Structure 1
Amino acid sequence: MAVDIKNLNQNQLNELIAKAQARQNELRKEKVSKVREKINALLKAEGVTLDDVFGNRAPKARRAGATGTALAAKYRNPANPEQTWSGRGKRPNWFNDALKAGKKEKDLLA
């Protein structure tokens, strides 16, 4: 089926794109279903389970801070104790300013 997209207006083109994406999703679901059936048939034929093959894998532990939770403050601004820094990432301006003013990192520890 050839569609001359040059003759389509914006609404027609958007509708065609939406239908094409929906069809793409249908084809993907069909493919996944067929692969799942093949895997289940193979597992049944071999007399094993998915856990036998791959084990009961627990998800890997995440590093601290990788989940978006804040890390404990390592440094605190003496001029404004509400401003803290964990020591990771870009140094905050108040930290750089304190170092330029003659403070040492150990002076700023929380």
Structure 2
Amino acid sequence: MKNNLADLSEAELASMIENAQKALKEKKETKRKEVMAQIKELAASIGVNVDITEGTKVSGRKGSKVPVKFQNPNNLSQKWTGRGMKPKWLQTLIEQGHRLEDFEVKS
């Protein structure tokens, strides 16, 4: 029996792909379990107990809130931390002759 993909219908191809994806997922899961068992076995051989935590991802960075450094006195909802590009409202006011220091938030 020769399997020529060009001779298969769209439904047959879709079914074949779905079955292949399921088989691949099962193989990966089996391999994962085998590797975890090997890790635990190797750890036990040197007297170490290993507890593997699954499904948790650790983020490399914890975001911290940056304080606002500049604010539009005419519209208090317009704020800028001083990082990145200047917002348009600030660029416009500077072009009108104001200085950046005029908009500093006083602590």
TM bucket, shorter chain = 0.7 to 0.9
Q: Identify if the C-alpha distance between structure 1 residues 15 and 85 changes in structure 2 by more than 3 Å, giving closer, same or farther.
A: farther
User: Aligned partner of 2:31: which letter?
Assistant: K
TM-score between both structures, scaled by the size of structure 1: 0.71
Query: Sequence identity of aligned pairs in percent?
Result: 27
> Is 2:97 the partner of 1:102?
yes
- Matches of residues 1-20 of structure 1 in structure 2 within 5 Å? 3-20=3-20
Q: Provide the C-alpha distance between the structure 2 equivalents of 1:27 and 1:2, rounded to a whole number of angstroms.
A: 25
Structure with the larger strand share: 2
User: Aligned partner of 2:42: which letter?
Assistant: L
Find the counterpart in structure 2 of residue 72 from structure 1. 67
Q: Which runs of 4+ in 1 moved over 3 A?
A: 58-61
Gaps of 5+ in 2: 52-57
Deviation at 1:37, TM superposition (A): 0.7
TM-score between both structures, scaled by the size of structure 2: 0.73
Structure with the larger helix share: 1
Q: Provide the C-alpha distance between the structure 2 equivalents of 1:2 and 1:46, rounded to a whole number of angstroms.
A: 52
- How many pairs align? 99
Gaps of 5+ in 1: 52-57, 66-70
Q: Provide the C-alpha distance between the structure 2 equivalents of 1:95 and 1:76, rounded to a whole number of angstroms.
A: 9
Q: Provide the C-alpha distance between the structure 1 equivalents of 2:49 and 2:10, rounded to a whole number of angstroms.
A: 51
Find the counterpart in structure 2 of residue 44 from structure 1. 44
Indicate the RMSD between aligned Cα atoms, in angstroms. 2.6
